[in-house]
Structure formats: C-alpha cells, structure tokens
Amino acid sequence: HRILQGAQSGDFLTTVHDLLVGKHGFYHDIFRDLGVPYKEVEWHRDVTGSDTTTVMTTKQSQVDALIAAHRDRGHLIADLDPLALNEPELHQDLDPAGHGLTIWDLDREFEVSESNGLAAATGGRDRLPLREILGLLRDAYCRTLGVDYTHILDPEEKRWIRDQIESPQPALSGDEKLRILDRLNAAEALETFLGTRYVGQKRFGLEGAESVIPTIDAVLAEAADDHMHSAIIGMAHRGRLNVLVNIVGKTYGQLFREFEGAIDPDAVQGSGDVKYHLGMSGEFTSPAGNPLQVDLAANPSHLEAVGPVVVGMAKARMDALTDEATAGAVDEATAEDAAEDSAGGPPGTGVLPLVLHGDAAFAGQGVVTETLHMSQLDGYAVGGTIHLVINNQVGFTATAQESRSSPYPTDVARTVQAPIFHVNGDDPEACVRAGRLAFQYRRRWGKDVVIDLWCYRRHGHNEGDDPSITQPLMYNRIAEHRPVRKGYVERLVLQDEIDMTAATGALDGFESMLHEALDATRAELPEGQSMALPPKPPTGALPDIDTTVGLDELRDIYAVLSRLPEGFSVHPRVAKHLQARDRMFADSEADWALAETLAFGSLLRQGTSVRLSGQDSRRGTFSQRHSTFVDNVTGAEHTPLAALCAPRTHLWIYDSLLSEYAALGFEYGYSLANPEVLTLWEAQFGDFANGAQIIIDQFLVASVDKWRQGSGLVLLLPHGLEGQGPEHSSARIERFLNLAAEDNMTLAQPTTSAQYFHLLRRQALWDLSRPLVVFSPKSLLRARPARSALGEFAGASFRAVLDDPAPPSRVDRVVLCSGKVGHEAAAKRDSLAANVAVVRIEQLYPWPAAEIAEILARYPDAGEIVWLQDEPRNMGAWNFARDRLA
C-alpha cells in the first residue's frame, strides 16, 4: 500500500473529515441510495453554547413544533409507494433544522408530556433525547403507514387517533401472520390460475394489489368479532372476482362455470352481465369463529355509481334491524346494537358499509363527493362508511398527474373531516393494521374513514391491454418488482415464523384446489351445453289491488292531520293554507297535496312505513306539501303524519342534500334492502332527473334483467310546459318511454288527486317490486279540475285510462292525451261547444291497449282520433304512442 506522507496525508485526512461531517453531498448520496426520506445532517459547532433555562425553553418550543409537524405532515415522507417511482423529498417542516434544531440537540433531553401529547408513547418517561423523540415520530408517522388526520376539528377525535398511532403496538401473533399469508396465497393463487387457464379473458385482476384481500379480511373479522349483523360491500371491477371468492364465499366451481360459458340457474344474473359486475351474498367467518353476513352489491360499469347504493342499502337494513330488535326477533347481540342505534348512539353499529374505489375514480367522480357529504346528514347517516382506495397509481392510461390536482387521490375526503390512512401495499401487516384502525375509528366515532392502499397494477387495465405503451418506465419497474406474497414469505422465514417448504406447500394447496374445481366443473356439462337462465319475476298486467279507504277512516286521518300542539304558532301563510284545506275537506274534496297526505296516512295506519326525500321535499317545491310545520316563534317542528304510525311503522320525510346522482342512488339502495317501505324520491323539477341518469339507466330500469334485482322505488318528477321556458318544464317523458321494456317499470301521469292517491297505495301494497315513475303536475297541484271528491278515494281505484266524464251527445273527434293538457283541452272544447271527446291516458307504460280500445269503441261515429300533447312532437309520449295506436 502506498504510504501518504507530508502534505498528501494532510489533504487525505481533510477529505475524509469533510466527508464524515457531511460535505460534498456524501450523506445525501447514501440517503438517496437507501431510500431514506430525511435530509442529511451536517456537522457544525453548537451555536447556542449553553443549556440555560431560556435557551432550553426556546428549544422545547422548537421540539414541540417539530412533533406537531410530524403529526400533520409525516405522511408526506412515509414509505408508501411499493415501486418507489419518485424520490421522497423532506418537507421543511419535518427537518429539525427548519425548526432551529442542530446535530448537537439530538442528545439533549426534552420534555414529553400531555402538553405535546407524547406521554402515551414513552412508557411513563417524562423526558427523552431528541433522537429518541424523532425515532418515535418517524416510527409512528413515516414508515409504511402514514396518517392524515390533523384536518379534523374535533380535538377528542384527533387525540384518539394520535394515541392509537403513537402508542407502542404489540407485534402480531404467529397465527395472525399466518392468516395474512393464507389470504395472500388465496389471492395470488386465484389470479395466477385464471391468468394461465383463461388467457386473454377480461377479469380485471388484483395482481399487485393482493394486500387488499387481507385488509378486507381484517376489517370483516373485526366486524364479526364485534357481533355486527352484516357488511355490505360495493366495488368496481378491479379485484372483484377475488373478493367474490376469497371474501364473500363464491366457490371456485361457480366462478369457473362463468368462465366456461355455462350459466348457473341458481346464480343471480340475468341478461348475461359480465362476471365482474355480479353481486352475491355469503357468510364470512372470523378466525375466532364468529359469523358475519356479507353482501357484495351488483354494479354496472359506471365507476363509483354503486357507492351511494351501498350506503342506502346499509341504512335500510339498519332501520329494519332496529324494528326487529324492538319486536324481539333478532339475537341479543344484534338487538343491543340496534337498540343503541335507536337510542341515539352512533348509528349503523349493526351494519357495516365497505366501499372499494379506484384512485383515479375516487378523485375524479363527483358522486364520491356527493356520497361523502351525505355521511353525517339526518336521514342518510349510517354510522360511517369504510372507504378502501386501491391506489394503483394509474387510471387506465392516465397518470396521477393527469387524474387530479391534489397530492393524494383521497384528499377529497378531507372535506368531511374523515381520517385517511395511507399504507404501502407491499407491507401486508401495515395494511391489516390500517384496516383494524379504520374499523375501530368508525365504531368509536360513527363517521366515514378512508384507507389509501398504495399498490400497482401488474398487468394493463384489462388482461388484453399493453400498459407499457403509455407507462414504459413504470412497467419496467413492475417487471422487476417482487410480488407481495413472495416478499412477505421471505419476511416470515427470516422471523422463523414459517419455513420456505411450508410456505410453498400452502400455495400449492390452493393451486390443487383450483385444478380440482376446474376439472369438476368441466365434467358437469357436455361440451357446448349451456344452463338455462333463472325465470324472471312475473310480468304482465298490473294487479287488481283494493286501494280504497273508507270515508270514516279518511275523516279520522284528517282529524289527526288538522290537529296542532297547544300554543303552536304557524307561519301566517301556512295558517292560510290550513284554513283553505279545512274548507276543501269540509266540502268533501281533496287537492293533490291532501290526496298524497291521506295516502301516506292510510298506509302508516296499515303498518306500511313511508320514506320520502328530495330537495325541499318537506315543504314542497311549490309550497304544496307542508309535511312539517315550524313554530314561527320557537322554531319547534311538528309533523302531523307521524302521529298516525302503527307500531314499528315510520314516516321519514327529508330535505335531501343538493344532489341527484347520489341521492337517487341512495334511495334505490334503500328500496332494495327494505322493500316493505314505500320509498319515494322527488326531484325539485322533473328535469333534475338528468343529474341522476346513470342511476336510472344502469340500476333502476335494468336491474331486474341484469341481476334479477327488483326495486319498488317511486320517482316523483314535476312535469309540465307552462310558458316558463325550456328549463324546469320537462321530466323527459320520451326518455323514460325509450327505457321501458318487458314490464320493467310503471310510467304514469295522473291528472286527478284520486288517481294519484290510488296509484301510491297500489305501489305500496303490491307484493312485486317494480319502479314507478310519476310525472307529477305543477299547475294542477291546486287546480280545481284536478281535485277529487272523497267518494273517489273510498269507492274507486286507479284507472289506466280516463274517459271523458262529460262527452257531447255526438262525438266527431276523439282526442287522446296525457297530463294537464287534457284539462285544458276539455275546457277549450266546452268553450267552443265542439263535438270532441277528451280521453286521458293516465298510465303510459305498460301501455293500456285494452282499456283504450274499450273506450274508443264507445265512440263509433268518431271520424278522427288524434293525439294531443303540450310537448314538441320529438318529446313527450307521441313517438311511443304512435306505433301503438296505428
């Protein structure tokens, strides 16, 4: 070796010294190569020069600020990305130097107490060196689990999360680790098997995000061990088949039959919807042996549309459980949970909504924000939804930078003060911890919570897509990246939790089961044979249901409606409305709003609950309903209909948030899960249904055909062209008629209050779930021609066609029409004394062909039959009616 002497040795030692004290970027290069997300510390003299009380007080405040910064922004430098696509950058607030602290402060001791909140993390010590404080903070906030929670306003909530994160965490037991490995084995084995046996078939696999399965498993295990009744899951296509099999309990054989092209007659699928849209119900069992009912909601291809549907289903089931608990019809544990709901505790403790999202969709689809903002509203709260974002860092081909303007896809959840747990999908133990924390937060606080699970998509958007065309660098990295199961196996082997032979054998066991199931499936049917679809629910003529209500009962109902609490002061305009209503009822008549109220009241007395929601629905867009009175002096509220409820019967009328998409999705979900309730959604104006068209197209009108899933939801859509311009005039009757087929719904445009009364009661009492769309009036709400005598409530029924009540003695022309224009045509006919009969079509679908023919036969001398409507000819019912009248 060369011996350095003289000046050379001095230069060498100087260079070594400079490197050791951090000059020339020496530590920066090391930190970068090791992926350390912290700024290197350079040596310099201790400028404070003393540990006086004043100096240490200043430094203590600097340390406190550093602690707060880690709680606020520690997630920014957490190790979240399995692919390490971007070099982490230390935020200035997380750099000790940014708070005036130096290398000399690392060994100085500082106070850790309730004042800075670190007491729970220190095991009783009240002072720690700064380097240990930094270690605690970085372990809590900057490893593979980052927590975003300081935006929450409630200090108690923040303190609870802080203590959960900073307190020492017990290591997972050997059994818990093996459970995680088992779920990873199941997830990977299924994807690998499908990928090799069904090459090129779309399945939207979970490769790269396998940790989703142990995460869901952990959440549901917590729910089962907490003796919850059920969980309702909503998700899009990514990983759906894996969830169906490894969470919900779909058998390998059932799945393979779908891949083989055979249709299971017992499966819930209708028109051959793709397998990654189908729903299912099953039973999950926790490691402790506790069962949990699990439902995976069917969904269309429209991303995030299923979210509000799941929440509505959860709300409906929660309400039903509360009633069953009251009746003593459920087990003790569920009854206790439901009783807590009804007693004002965190609602939904018996039902867990769990919604899975994609990263690009969570940020990009507005229905996510609408659904989040429902979460704490009266009428919509379900005690919190757990949101699990499968953040594979790309949306089809769009990068994160092209998909959002925020650092994280989950930042939208900050608007409702939801905590967000960011977690590295390559650390399945951290994912399980995030799942458990999310469940515990929801249980404690009854609010939404988000898990942002960072992962990747090993293949393209679907199995036929080549993602390297648009993301070559990412997919070069993915090709070299070790799968999560393999990484976890190596970790357990190093910890002596399992040996490699046993780990390989466990995976082989799943593969053997898959092979056996496929062989059995292929042996069940001769080649090319397909199994028959299950029968559809009955269709055809609408039922003959007695919807009458006796006059005495109507009077009893009205007596309750007209009674106000003693001393209750109503608004002068409302008082005038009530006086006019009293006079009308005394004359044995009822207008539109009163007919609706009488229908609701009669149903409540019979034991049928009613749920109505919509923008401004409690008062009514046109000040017609007044379901709830507000004391003009005290602000107290009074809802007269509530006094008519039979035991375990409810009236729910809510002013919804200013949303159509999520609001209608919620009510659709509610109607699915609690079909015994008459569920109605009212648009402020009929054209507001435009904003909910995805729910209408993909769920409401198609769910029976696609999934054999019926809904009895009622849509009230105010309609009528009344000289106010194109906006708020049309409910797009023509659009609904284009969607009508195979008796999938009922479309009605009643023109009298009695018709509306009987229509609502028929829908509520019908034992078949079929949507009802009512093109409700605006100008007819108070119009005298639309009023009905009370005798029509007591002695009639809904009629699909109304003949002219007073036709002339000779009829030369028959005018067929629907809606308010019928009353206008009759008035014009009377003023002209024309020989015209006006016939109103009250039910547009199913088309009442027999009833129309019967009425037309009464006018044999009519030389002309015409169709009249107030809409332009390319709108309204004309194009639909023309083919049926030819």
pLDDT in tens, 167-221: 988 999 999 999 999 999 999 988 888 888 887 777 788 999 999 999 999 999 9
Categorize the per-residue pLDDT at 345 as very low, low, confident or very high, splitting at 50, 70 and 90.
very low
- Containing 574, the helix (H) or strand (E) segment is helix 572-586
Whether residue 250 has pLDDT greater than 60 = yes
User: What is the residue range of 625's domain?
Assistant: 551-795
Give the CA angle between residues 859, 865, 868 to the nearest 5°: 125
More confident residue, 400 or 364: 364
Q: Which of 524, 541, 572 is the last residue of a domain?
A: 524
Average confidence (pLDDT) over 322-340:
58
Among residues 737, 262, 778, which one has the least CA distance to residue 521?
A: 262
- pLDDT for 339 equals 39
Among residues 850, 834, 728, 720, which one has the least CA distance to residue 786?
A: 720
741, HSE (Cβ side, Cα atoms, 13 Å): 7
- pLDDT for 199 equals 75
pLDDT in tens, 282-329: 999 999 999 999 999 998 889 999 999 999 999 999 999 988 877 765
- Which CATH number goes with the domain that contains 345? 3.40.50.970
| Residue 805 counted as domain residue | yes
Tokens representing 160? Answer: 């609870």
| Residue 407 counted as domain residue | yes
Which listed residue (1, 24, 75, 227) is catalytic? 1
Question: Mean pLDDT over all residues of the chain?
Answer: 88
Whether residue 377 has pLDDT greater than 70 = yes
Among residues 238, 261, 175, 272, which one has the least CA distance to residue 461?
A: 238
Among residues 769, 779, 629, 650, which one has the least CA distance to residue 711?
A: 769
Categorize the per-residue pLDDT at 75 as very low, low, confident or very high, splitting at 50, 70 and 90.
very high
Among residues 328, 243, 364, which one has the least CA distance to residue 294?
A: 243
Categorize the per-residue pLDDT at 535 as very low, low, confident or very high, splitting at 50, 70 and 90.
low
- pLDDT for 43 equals 53
| Residue 243 counted as domain residue | yes
Q: Which of 92, 126, 143 is the last residue of a domain?
A: 143
Do 207 and 71 share a structural domain? no
Distance CA 796, CA 790 (A): 10
Contact 698, 740 (CB under 8 A): no
| Residue 11 counted as domain residue | no
With a pLDDT cut of 90, the percent of the chain lying above it is 66
Do 227 and 312 share a structural domain? yes
pLDDT in tens, 23-42: 777 777 777 667 666 666 56
- Residue partners of 611: CB distance under 8 A and separation at least 6: 650, 652, 653, 654, 667, 670, 677, 678, 679, 680
- Containing 688, the helix (H) or strand (E) segment is none
Phi-psi region of 728 (alpha: psi -120 to 50; beta: other; left: phi over 0): left
Whether residue 344 has pLDDT greater than 50 = no
- Residue partners of 104: CB distance under 8 A and separation at least 6: 46, 48
Average confidence (pLDDT) over 55-72:
91
Number of domains in the chain: 4
More confident residue, 251 or 712: 712
pLDDT in tens, 390-419: 999 988 888 888 889 999 999 999 999 999
Categorize the per-residue pLDDT at 234 as very low, low, confident or very high, splitting at 50, 70 and 90.
very high
Q: Which amino acid is at 538?
A: P
Do 423 and 299 share a structural domain? yes
Among residues 749, 747, 828, which one has the least CA distance to residue 786?
A: 749
| Residue 8 counted as domain residue | no
Contact 466, 460 (CB under 8 A): yes
pLDDT in tens, 568-624: 999 999 999 999 999 999 999 999 999 999 999 999 999 999 999 999 999 998 889
- Which CATH number goes with the domain that contains 715? 3.40.50.12470
- pLDDT for 266 equals 47
Average confidence (pLDDT) over 552-558:
97
φ/ψ of 44, rounded to 5, equals -155, 170
Residue the block writes with tokens 């007080």? 57
What DSSP designation does 330 have?
S
| Residue 123 counted as domain residue | yes
Distance CA 616, CA 602 (A): 23
- pLDDT for 86 equals 85
- Residue partners of 808: CB distance under 8 A and separation at least 6: 829, 833, 834, 835, 836, 837
Do 284 and 228 share a structural domain? yes
Do 210 and 127 share a structural domain? no
Q: Other C-beta atoms within 10 Å of 414: how many? A: 18
Whether residue 546 has pLDDT greater than 80 = yes
Do 68 and 26 share a structural domain? yes
Average confidence (pLDDT) over 110-134:
85
- pLDDT for 39 equals 62
Rounded to two decimals, the pTM is 0.91
Whether residue 244 has pLDDT greater than 70 = yes
Please list the residues that pair with 716 across neighbouring strands.
682, 774
Do 320 and 233 share a structural domain? yes
Long-range contact pairs involving 549-557 (C-beta distance under 8 Å, separation at least 24): 549/598, 549/602, 549/761, 549/793, 549/794, 550/794, 551/790, 551/791, 551/793, 551/794, 553/602, 553/605, 554/598, 554/602, 554/790, 554/793, 554/794, 557/598, 557/601, 557/602, 557/605, 557/644
Whether residue 526 has pLDDT greater than 70 = no
Do 817 and 782 share a structural domain? no
More confident residue, 608 or 465: 608
| Residue 75 annotated in active site | no
Distance CA 450, CA 458 (A): 24
- pLDDT for 279 equals 81
- Which CATH number goes with the domain that contains 67? 1.10.287.1150
Do 813 and 784 share a structural domain? no
- pLDDT for 118 equals 86
Do 81 and 185 share a structural domain? no
Tokens representing 603? Answer: 């149903």
- Residue 549 to residues 557, 611, 646, 780, Cα–Cα distance (Å): 10, 21, 16, 23
pLDDT in tens, 737-747: 999 999 999 99
